């Protein structure tokens, strides 16, 4: 049985414990643990005793959209790896997306990843983030605007280059009249895709504007145009889901047109395998989300800037056709391509 120490010994033990507590408190104060936020833009390393970085991913689209689901999956994978607290939000209204950025600034996040589908609408809120010392990177849309707006980095596809590559491929396929279906009027990335097609395609390129948020209306407009002009032999859509819908429109119109598209998802992989869609241009949205979040973590913890802040990091284009679709099918089935 343990016997209690004499009173003098107990007093001496308590004094040692009290002194040790004071030393620990002093050390904690010197470590700076009282302020867990890094100075924005310093790129200094975070210690193990600091709170997690908080990053906001704010896009111009995403609701019930498989493409943006891939972007989000990539961002979440990077956040999990880096121990980052990730907030994701989207708004198709440019003013609404701009407000999302202002809300993130007010919330004092450590970094913002944003799309610039409508660059003019994002200029003021991005400038406000910079003024607040919050680093901002771009992804997916705005390759011609990110540097002028002062973003640190950009991750995406050069849509003009991708469009030109599609035009060249249509020449190889002996197409004569391409209908380029733009599902969001004023979106600079979509406009650049069709302009790129027109630049290299030797046949006729015609833009068809539709309201992408209304699938029935898209089908009606596309079917009607195909019926009006039997000479249209290629339909180029700018999103995977629109390609799948276009297959039905072609059939309903009794058209001989083939369907090709930008962007990829699991259902489109199946369509390429079946031969109902000729090819897809994959810009790797999972990679865009992953790199955007990971780059902010690297900047805040190690001062890294991908592309040196002067060149975009390109994630595409890559063609997926019937001859190579098997190589990406397993990743598409897993929801990462």
Structural domain boundaries in the chain:
54-157+285-316, 159-283+322-333
| Euclidean distance between CA atoms 290 and 76, whole angstroms | 7
Q: For residue 118, how far is the Cα from the chain centroid?
A: 15
For residue 317, is the peptide bond before it cis, meaning its omega torsion is within 30 degrees of 0?
yes
CATH class of the domain defined by 159-283+322-333: alpha beta
DSSP symbol at 186 = T
Coil, strand, or helix at residue 87? strand
Tell me if 197 sits within 8 A of 167, measured CB to CB. yes
Using CA atoms, how far residue 75 sits from 86, 104, 118, 138, 298, in Å, is 8, 17, 22, 13, 14
Three-state secondary structure of 10-50: HHHHHHHHHHHHHHHHHHHHHCCCCCCCCCCCCCCCCCCCC
- Residues in contact with 205: Cβ distance below 8 Å, sequence separation at least 6, in sequence order: 167, 178, 180, 194, 197, 198
Could you check whether 54-157+285-316 and 159-283+322-333 share the same CATH topology? yes
Average pLDDT over residues 28-41: 34
73 and 293 Cβ atoms separated by less than 8 Å: no
50-59, 69-78, 96-105, range with the lowest pLDDT: 50-59
Q: Which of 57-66, 102-111, 242-251 is least confident?
A: 57-66
Which of 3.30.70.1400, 3.40.50.300, 3.40.309.10, 3.40.50.2300 would CATH assign to domain 54-157+285-316?
A: 3.40.50.2300
pLDDT at 32: 36
19, two tokens:
């002194």
Residue keyed to tokens 């020449």: 171
Q: Alpha-carbon distance 153 to 45, whole Å?
A: 19
Q: What is the pLDDT of residue 45?
A: 40
What is the rounded CA–CA span in Å between residue 223 and residue 251?
Answer: 9
pLDDT for position 287: 97
Query: Shortest CA distance to 249 belongs to which of 264, 263, 262, 261?
Result: 261
DSSP annotation of 210 reads -
| Cβ proximity of 68 and 62 under 8 Å | yes
| Of 304 and 27, more confident | 304
- Tell me the three state secondary structure of residue 60: coil
For residue 170, count CB atoms less than 10 angstroms from its CB and return exposed for 0-12, middle for 13-18, buried for 19 or more: buried
Contacts of 316 (CB under 8 A, 6+ apart): 156, 157, 162, 281, 282, 283, 284
pLDDT at 26 over 50: no
Distance separating alpha carbons of residues 142 and 134, to the nearest angstrom: 19
The mean pLDDT value for 241-265 works out to 97
Q: Calculate mean pLDDT across residues 49-68.
A: 86
pLDDT band at 65 (very low <50, low <70, confident <90, very high): confident
Q: What percent of the chain clears pLDDT 90, i.e. is strictly above it? A: 82
pLDDT of residue 168 exceeding 80: yes
Element (H, E) at 95: helix 94-106
Cite the beta strand spans of the chain per DSSP E: 54-59, 85-90, 111-114, 136-139, 154-157, 177-182, 204-209, 234-237, 258-262, 279-282, 313-316, 318-321
Take residue 330 and report the two structure tokens written for it: 């397993």
Q: pLDDT tens, 296-333?
A: 999 999 999 999 999 999 999 999 999 999 999 999 99
For position 51, what pLDDT does the model report? 75
Q: The tokens 């705005």 sit on which residue? A: 142
**Considering only 12-21, 101-110, 253-262, 286-295, which range has the smallest mean pLDDT?**
12-21
Q: Write down the pLDDT at residue 14.
A: 38
């Amino acid at each position: 049985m343990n016997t209690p120490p004499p009173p003098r010994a107990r007093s001496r033990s308590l004094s040692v414990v009290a002194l040790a507590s004071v030393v620990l408190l002093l050390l904690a104060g010197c470590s700076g643990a009282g302020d867990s936020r890094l100075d924005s833009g310093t790129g200094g390393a975070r210690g193990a005793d600091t709170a997690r970085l908080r990053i906001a991913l704010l896009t111009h689209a995403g609701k019930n959209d498989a493409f943006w689901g891939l972007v989000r999956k990539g961002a979440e994978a990077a956040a999990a790896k880096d121990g980052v607290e990730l907030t994701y939000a989207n708004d198709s209204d440019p003013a609404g997306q701009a407000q999302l950025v202002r809300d993130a600034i007010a919330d004092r996040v450590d970094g913002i990843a944003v799309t610039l589908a409508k660059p003019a609408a994002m200029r003021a809120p991005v400038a406000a983030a910079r003024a607040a010392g919050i680093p901002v990177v771009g992804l997916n849309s705005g390759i011609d605007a990110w540097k002028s707006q002062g973003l640190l980095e950009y991750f995406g596809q050069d849509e003009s280059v991708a469009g030109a590559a599609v035009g060249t491929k249509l020449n190889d396929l002996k197409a004569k009249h391409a209908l380029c279906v733009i599902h969001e009027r004023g979106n600079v990335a979509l406009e650049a895709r069709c302009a790129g097609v027109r630049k290299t395609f030797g046949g006729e390129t015609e833009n068809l504007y539709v309201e992408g948020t209304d699938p029935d209306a898209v089908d009606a407009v596309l079917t009607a145009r195909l019926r009006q002009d039997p000479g249209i032999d290629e339909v180029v859509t700018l999103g995977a889901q629109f390609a799948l819908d276009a297959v039905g429109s072609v059939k309903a119109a009794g058209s001989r047109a083939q369907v090709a598209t930008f962007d990829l998802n699991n259902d489109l992989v199946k369509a390429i395998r079946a031969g109902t869609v000729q090819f897809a241009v994959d810009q790797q949205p999972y990679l865009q989300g992953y790199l955007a979040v990971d780059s902010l973590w690297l900047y805040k913890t190690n001062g890294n800037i991908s592309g040196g802040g002067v060149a975009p990091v390109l994630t595409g284009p890559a063609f997926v056709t019937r001859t190579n679709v098997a190589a990406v099918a397993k990743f598409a089935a897993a929801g990462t391509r």
